[in-house]
Amino acid sequence: MNKHLLSLLFIAFSQFFQAQEIEILPEVKILKEGFIYNNFPIPQCHSSTVVELENGTIMAAWFGGTHERHVDVSIYNAVFDGSTWTKPVKVADGLVDDTHRYPTWNPVLFKNKSGVLFLFYKVGPSPSDWWGMYKTSQDEGKTWTESKKLPKGILGPIKNKPFQFEDGTIVSPSSTEDGAVWKVHMEISKDGGYHWEKVLVDQKSDFRAIQPTLLKLNEGSIKALIRSDQNVLLESESFDGGESWSHLKKTTVANPNSGIDAVTLKNGGHLLVYNPMVSGKDWWEGRNELKLAYSKDGDVWQNIYTLEEKEDGEYSYPAIIQMNNGNVFITYTHNRTKIKYVVLNLNSQKE
């Protein structure tokens, strides 16, 4: 056998084994799952968010009340120590004065690199008319500042957590819903989250697009996966730290116009929690299945675990983070009556 043929065979075998290595998916091991609360006098809840605190505990927050849009809907939170959750407490509401009160929406917890914990949320009668609010905590959420209103045109992270680069720049994924016009934008902070600049994302697109989630591709580059009314997720990329973004384009990942969340793992892979279906005539159709998908590059996604798969019901609006110990923590709406949590480990992914 000549050297040229041996070289070709070596290249072919190398490519084959590299391809096989790419196809190896993480194996999911569920460590713990359950509900944040079982008996709490709040009829409905939705839109959870989660963050890891300094001591390894987990804080979750969500909005709850009589029903979405009711003026009594407030923001609640609870803390998980690895075995039990604290009793939920109200941390924010939409009370403006003695005669005006509005519902609250979509809390987002975020801790900056200085250790300041932020609680972002929205207040207003509807997504078309809401405004951005926030509180901060210097003691891991034991106490909070008074609520502050974000400047006009700045809404804060609309559903999913911001991303902070090593240089301290924070990119917050946001969007607006002006009637039938849904547009994605980003908000960038250079001072730890106190002042923001709005960055538009493809305003010429006819797609209805909201609620982006961010993935880190490499240093300075990030990808946004975006909810849409196209029965698939959209995406946009930035190669300059979030200062500019590519045109929206369709992915092949199904989406029934429902909230998603994703996270970039320490090993460089990515996880996505989403409803892998198409929309129906009613807004809740397509939310009865919830999957966890993995991608090595942020482009090709493969389902690796089924969180929910029922004939009907709503399992939606997930939040996902990777903890410092490597475990993955997920929360999501469970039939609008509870918030479910799942702690898992990816066995084949070495950190």
Spatial contact of 238 and 226, defined as CB atoms under 8 Å apart = no
Q: What is the pTM of this model?
A: 0.92
| pLDDT tens digit sequence for 157-169 | 999 999 999 999 9
| pLDDT tens digit sequence for 271-317 | 999 999 999 999 899 999 999 999 999 999 999 999 999 999 999 99
Spatial contact of 154 and 198, defined as CB atoms under 8 Å apart = yes
- Which tokens hold the place of 151? 């400047």
Torsion of CA 148, 258, 212, 249, to 10 degrees: -150
Q: How far apart are CA 15 and CA 239, in angstroms?
A: 29
For residue 238, the cross-strand partners are 222
pLDDT of res. 350? 44
Torsion of CA 147, 153, 155, 159, to 10 degrees: 170
Spatial contact of 242 and 171, defined as CB atoms under 8 Å apart = yes
Altogether, the residues listed in the chain come to a count of 351
Greatest Cα pair distance in the chain: 90
Give me the amino acid identity at 333: T
**Region label for 257, one of left (φ > 0), alpha (ψ between -120 and 50) or beta (otherwise):** left
Q: How far apart are CA 135 and CA 91, in angstroms?
A: 9
What stretches in the chain show pLDDT beneath 70? 1-23, 348-351
pLDDT of res. 218? 84
pLDDT of res. 13? 45
Distance of CA 286 to the CA centre of its chain: 18
